[in-house]
Amino acid sequence: MKSKASAPGKVILFGEHFVVYGVKAILCAINKRINVTAEKSQERKISIKSSIGNLALEPNKSISEIDSPLKPFYYLANKMIQNQNNGIKIIVESEIPLGVGLGSSSACCVAGAAAISRLFGKISKEEILKLAIEAEKTIFENTSGADCTVCTYGGIMEFDKESGFNKIKSKPNFHLVIANSNIEHSTKSVVARVREFKEKNETQFATLCNYESELVREVLGLLKENNVKELGEKVIQNQEYLETIGISNDRLREMIQIGLNKSFGAKITGAGGGGCIFALTDESNLDQTIMQFKEKNYECFSVKIDFKGLDTF
Ligand code: MEV
């Protein structure tokens, strides 16, 4: 029997990094997915095949000894085959560019947790999310859990570490243009850099957290009104806070300027240090914004909100 699951990637619209320190963030799932197929095997081995490489190991290895971006899958499979005689084969297919802040690793954890655990029986979305966050922690221990949450439930949501998520009911009519810097980044190391910034600048960081909370509060009102133009101004303001905590660089700043030529606002999304930015548009300036990036030879594409979240087959 094969078990299949698919989960969407994500964009953090507002509040990345500050969410790690308890501030509310606003995220949405996007219409680019990770598909995972899992199957029990006679051979007592865990094997994973993906476009970024393969991994085949005996069960019960120590996670800290595994040096592979595929280790969340190993963790999940190994957990599930305790007290069993078989192994597991996993195939991962991705429509999401990997490691660029669009939630590829969270979507892997969510789709992996669903596909693998369903080989052994029924499981709720809440339990899948819990497993996915455990698996994500094998590569990035201090995760806020925001990314796995939106990849599980889809749509657009507010999230904070203490109260969890709350779906935003309005269906905003904006479009996001994503541009990729093609600079690889590690969420773990950028989050560690922000922690250093915070430790050196406690008062300034606390003030920024307050500003970000206030901004998110205003954004929630603007989303209800579908006020894309003013939302763009909030995007620009949020980018200033991200500049202050040191997760930007010259390439990202150049891309944001290109985005600002025609869109309502542009900012880094996700950990920063590399990865992607997004520009906020509506129908009136979507094509022109894409053209701006294409003229400068940046890889770019537009995404829509995915309202489905995790899907299982
Ligand atoms: C990464 O996509 C988002 C961060 O806020 C980290 C986290 O929330 O765990 C940078």
Backbone angles phi, psi at 269, to 5 degrees: -130, 135
Give the residue, out of 24, 187, 247, with the most ligand 1 atoms within 8 A of its beta carbon, to mutate for a pocket test: 187
Q: Characterize 136-170 residue by residue with b for buried, 16 or more Cβ atoms within 10 angstroms of its Cβ, and e for exposed.
A: bbbbbeebbbbbbbbbbbbbbbbbbbeeebeebee
Give the residue, out of 108, 161, 191, 209, with the most ligand 1 atoms within 8 A of its beta carbon, to mutate for a pocket test: 191
Confidence (pLDDT) at 228: 96
- Is the full-model pTM beyond 0.85? yes
185 pLDDT more than 90: no
296 pLDDT more than 90: yes
Compute the average pLDDT of residues 7-34.
Answer: 98
Q: Is 160 a catalytic residue?
A: no
78's CB contacts (< 8 A; 6+ apart) are 46, 59, 60, 61
Q: How does pLDDT run across 194-215, given as a tens digit for each residue? A: 999 999 999 999 999 999 999 9
Q: How does pLDDT run across 268-291, given as a tens digit for each residue? A: 999 999 999 999 999 999 999 999
52 pLDDT more than 90: no
Give dist(CA 108, CA 69) in Å, integer: 10
Cα dihedral sign for 127, 166, 101, 186?
Answer: negative
Give dist(CA 231, CA 221) in Å, integer: 10
Domains and CATH numbers, the chain: 2-170 (3.30.230.10), 175-304 (3.30.70.890)
65 pLDDT more than 90: yes
Q: How many CB atoms lie within 10 A of CB 241?
A: 21
